[in-house]
Structure 1
Amino acid sequence: MANKVEVKELLDAGVHFGHLTRRWNPNMAPYIYMERNGIHIINLYKSAAKMQEAGEALAKIAASGRKILFVATKKQAKEIVAEQAERANMPYITERWPGGMLTNFVTIRKAVKKMASIDRMKKDGTFNTLSKKERLQVDRLRAKLEKNLGSISDMSRLPAALFIVDITREHIAVKEAQKLNIPIFAMVDTNSDPREVDYLIPSNDDASKSISKVISYVADSIVEGLSDRKTSKDSKKKDENDEDGGGKVAKSEMAPKLKKQKAEVPSQDPEDQKAMREAKQDVKLQSKQKTLDKASDDNGEEE
């Protein structure tokens, strides 16, 4: 369960400041409280509700073990997003959005593998066998790849969701996510279209304080989801160990019982065995006597 959002904290962070009224998007009307000095004021009660809703959804995604990709190429958002995404152990893009990052993910993965191969070359000494010019070129390529793709080097498959700061600026990322039906979470200002986002947070996406407040809350929700996942894994492992231990105990307890049962099977009484032998002898004697009697009768008749 995500922590409750305090409206006063949002107010102190300046989350309520929107854009100039002449630059507004009419679809944001439900989230605008009023207009003051030519600037739209965002309804913070709705912002708080939407933040909590987004936080709960992100926590569930994190608890399932899937990745959430953070996207923010704005100067005032780069450091904040990078810091919070690393804290939540999630991938992020803070430089230029590489075209086809989602729709052509196979090619992006090849570039990441190329970066890994350069690192292997440096470890095994192959890099030192290159000429000075070639080493310089490889170093430049490695630096370029690290700058653009270093933060997603551990992302082996498409993310389960995107969190975007300023969907107007990151419109390419939005289009790619829509094409692949990837859920979009975003900070949406009064100049953006909320219909392009699955989970919007009406907020000021220009001020660093506002961005920091929203992103830190989102990161906290993801961390909470990850901790729930770890707890459930540990409890499941413990239950499996208990079951294995119980099975072993039961088996060890059954063994002596089975032995006991085998030992308790009664053998035949010696007297009974003797009686059986005597009966068999009697039968044999009787049959022999009958044979002798018959032979004697036959001899008498012949005489």
Structure 2
Amino acid sequence: MAEGTRHPPINQKLARFFKVGLHYGHKKKEWNPKMVPFLFHSFPEVNREYHFINLYETQKYLNKACRYLRTASLKRKVILFVGTKKRLASAIQQEAMRCGAFYVNYRWLGGMLTNWKTIQKRIRRLRVLETLQAYGILNYYPKKESAKLKRELEKLNNYLAGIKNMPYLPDVVVLIDQEHELTAIKECKTLKIPIISIIDSNSNPDLVDLGIPGNDDSVKAIRYVLHRLARAIAGHQQSQNDKLLTQAALN
């Protein structure tokens, strides 16, 4: 954006973006020059050390992502949410489950997509252990073996709980924190699976198919974006319950 560019007045959604901190970028020395089109350049006197995200671009691409996911949902496409940072785990799980998407929120296993047949075997193993646990059969094993199987169950559940019902490879992946999820990105690229991702001032927009400019370090900002995307997938207007959830994301 050229210096001195005038923008329309800030609307209600942009005010929310400010409130959750979507405009905060990284230190200027950490930036990726490819992010130039998505950053503010008009007000360098505000903060000379950090970049600020252009929230008009955030609004534009968030709306575009919502429309894309809404269409994918109507076509019954398989949608996968990915965010494995510990502080994001609950938000990823909550929003994915709320809109009927699948999720990976613990750790990305190498080959989770590119070696799907092997992952399916591990999912079958998880189901067997869950059945043994549900019927109390694990308690009849020798103490040492029972403890070992329970640890295996816990481990598999951490890794695979969010995809154990996924029927096949996802049609689109919604990914949080590009820098932290490079392995997942590489697998999606190999399989030509479209990626929607928040892109911060240090991100590479070329690595994703649809980037949403914004702060990918703030849990509050990420929760807000996830909520908007999940609501688009769910395909309904914002009910009173949705309003309460949105308000919770802002507080």
TM class by smaller structure: 0.7 to 0.9
- Counterpart secondary structure, 2:212: strand
TM-score under structure 2 normalisation?
0.84
Higher helix share: 1
Letter of the 1:197 counterpart: V
- Counterpart secondary structure, 2:51: strand
- Counterpart secondary structure, 2:180: coil
Answer yes or no: is the 8 Å Cα contact 2:102–2:166 preserved in 1: yes
How far apart are the structure 2 equivalents of 1:5 and 1:60?
Answer: 25
| Aligned equivalent of 1:81, options 86, 92, 117 | 92
- 1:96-145 CA deviation, whole Å, 9 max, x = no partner? 11110000011111111001111233456653542221111111100100
**2:179 alignment partner in structure 1:** 168
**2:234 alignment partner in structure 1:** 223
How far apart are the structure 1 equivalents of 2:165 and 2:78?
Answer: 10
- 1:4-59 CA deviation, whole Å, 9 max, x = no partner? 98211111111011000000000000101134231001110011000000100011
| Aligned equivalent of 2:145, options 113, 134, 138 | 134
Answer yes or no: is the 8 Å Cα contact 1:81–1:92 preserved in 2: yes
Letter of the 1:185 counterpart: I
Answer yes or no: is the 8 Å Cα contact 1:162–1:182 preserved in 2: yes
**2:28 alignment partner in structure 1:** 21
**Does 2:14 correspond to 1:7?**
yes
Q: Which runs of 5+ in 2 are unaligned?
A: 1-10, 237-251
- Counterpart secondary structure, 2:113: coil
**Does 2:150 correspond to 1:143?**
no
How far apart are the structure 2 equivalents of 1:86 and 1:20?
Answer: 34
Structure 1 residues 161 and 167: CA distance shift in structure 2, 3 A: same
Identity score, percent? 34
How far apart are the structure 2 equivalents of 1:187 and 1:5?
Answer: 21
How far apart are the structure 1 equivalents of 2:233 and 2:12?
Answer: 15
- Counterpart secondary structure, 1:187: strand
- Counterpart secondary structure, 1:169: helix
Moved more, 33-42 or 110-119: 33-42
Letter of the 1:192 counterpart: S
Give the greater-gyration-radius structure (CA): 1
Instruction: Figure out how many residues of one structure are paired with residues of the other and give that number.
Output: 223
- Counterpart secondary structure, 2:193: coil
Structure 1 residues 123 and 41: CA distance shift in structure 2, 3 A: closer
- 1:233-264 CA deviation, whole Å, 9 max, x = no partner? xxxxxxxxxxxxxxxxxxxxxxxxxxxxxxxx
TM-score under structure 1 normalisation?
0.70
Give the RMSD, CA atoms, in angstroms. 1.8
**2:200 alignment partner in structure 1:** 189
Higher relative contact order (CA 8 A, sep 6+): 2
Shift of 1:93: 1.0
Answer yes or no: is the 8 Å Cα contact 1:14–1:209 preserved in 2: yes
Structure 1 residues 217 and 102: CA distance shift in structure 2, 3 A: same
**Does 2:66 correspond to 1:59?**
no
